[in-house]
Amino acid sequence: ERFGPQSILCLSSAGSTGALHNTEKLTRRFLNAIGGCTVPDGSYSSNAANFALKRVFGMDYGNSGFDAATMAKSRLILLWGANILEARLGSELPARLMEAARRGVPIVSIDPRRTRTATQTGAEWIPVLPGSDAAFMYAILFVLDAEGLLDHSYVGERAEGFDGIMDHVKGRLDGVAKDPAWAAAACGVEPAAIARLARRWAATKPTMLLPGYSIQRTRAGEEVARLCVALQLATKNFGLSGGSTGSLNNRLPGCRIASIGEGDGSGNRHFPVLRWADAVLQTGQGDSAPIRAVYSAGGNFLNQGADIAKNVRAFESLDFAICHELFMTPTARYCDLILPAASPLQKEDIGLPWAGNYLLYKPG
């Protein structure tokens, strides 16, 4: 009553992604029904890629993936920041990757560390400095163009704006050519190794590029997401069975089930999800309503992000925090009221898996 509905911060997430009992949407729907709230927008997982790839493909990036079964046709697999055997998104892709490794398909892992995925697949490891992936990618495009391995007419028939990328790569915009020597200083990879990968990529078809979410979690991560698509197009592996689009979405589009509504949220206040703690600590200055309460369901925001100490301060500054939980998570420990949540085994729902068809389930 004192501060208004925007003083309630909705921290709902994907703890349950069923079509009916969807924690993210139903929490917002509940708060909208009682007047509204403050809503964080975007994704901790892939915010930069979501923004960039929607504009590259002209559609939601969730529809820009590929069929993992086509990996059976791949002649080269590039894992760029992708630790598929540990950071699992679905069950099919890890199995397909191990199957390819057993067949002897060459696999290259571009990553700051030698991951378990690289070790178990016997991948060639190219160590790269964190956050420098765009420089590496620019240099590959430079080599493709300089050595006549880039078919500009082919690319021009299939994409708009590619010439703008190449103007930047060649240094026409800032006077700095993004050649392998330039990139080596940024990414720590020898110029010869960069050129060798570029030639191999162009000569081997189909090559499947599997980028991980990690590479776009950096400043200007949108550019890395865009360059993955540009590289698959430049090497003519975009659209090939056994190749890939270069999208971070390594799956086919999901099943088409109508999304449950969130109600009227026209009066809600919005801000980027990565700044939720800043919003708690800084709102209330001037005419904005302070955030005095948190409603959390299906998420564990307190221990996510780079500054957990700040997240703790944000929770400690609140008047009241409530959560629905199965377990005593770090977020639950800082809540005043914890409501027991039902597990998927206790609910009737339509399950939406990472890839493939939906699953109908109900309590026994």
| CATH code for the domain in which residue 38 is found | 3.40.50.740
User: For each of the chain's 364 residues, which pLDDT tens digit applies?
Assistant: 788 999 999 999 888 777 888 899 999 999 999 999 999 998 888 888 888 888 888 877 666 678 889 999 999 999 999 999 998 777 789 999 999 999 999 999 999 999 999 999 999 999 999 999 999 999 999 999 999 999 999 999 999 999 999 999 999 999 999 999 999 999 999 999 999 999 999 999 999 999 999 999 888 899 999 999 999 999 999 989 999 988 887 767 667 777 788 999 999 999 999 899 999 998 776 657 899 999 999 999 999 877 999 999 999 999 999 999 999 999 999 999 999 998 888 888 887 777 667 778 888 6
CATH code where residue 77 lies: 3.40.228.10
- 351 beta partners: 359
Question: Same structural domain for residues 228 and 324?
Answer: no
Question: Same structural domain for residues 55 and 171?
Answer: yes
**Residue 53: which H helix or E strand, with range?**
helix 47-57
Residues 109 and 105: their CA atoms lie apart, in Å, by 13
Single residue among 234, 251, 275 that ends a domain in this structure: 234
Given a contact cutoff of 8 angstroms between Cβ atoms, the answer to whether 73 and 103 are in contact is no
Question: Same structural domain for residues 85 and 169?
Answer: yes
Overall size of the chain counted in residues? 364
Question: Same structural domain for residues 178 and 104?
Answer: yes
- 208 beta partners: 77
Predicted TM-score (pTM) of this structure: 0.89
Question: Same structural domain for residues 83 and 195?
Answer: yes
Please indicate, yes or no, if residue 120 is contained in any of the structural domains. Answer: yes
**Residue 320: which H helix or E strand, with range?**
strand 320-325
Question: Same structural domain for residues 56 and 129?
Answer: yes
Question: Same structural domain for residues 221 and 83?
Answer: yes
Question: Same structural domain for residues 84 and 204?
Answer: yes
User: What is the number of domains present in the chain?
Assistant: 2
What is the domain range of residue 305? 5-44+262-361
Residues 346 and 15: their CA atoms lie apart, in Å, by 14
Hey, is 251 helix, strand or coil?
Answer: coil
Hey, is 124 helix, strand or coil?
Answer: strand
Please indicate, yes or no, if residue 251 is contained in any of the structural domains. Answer: no
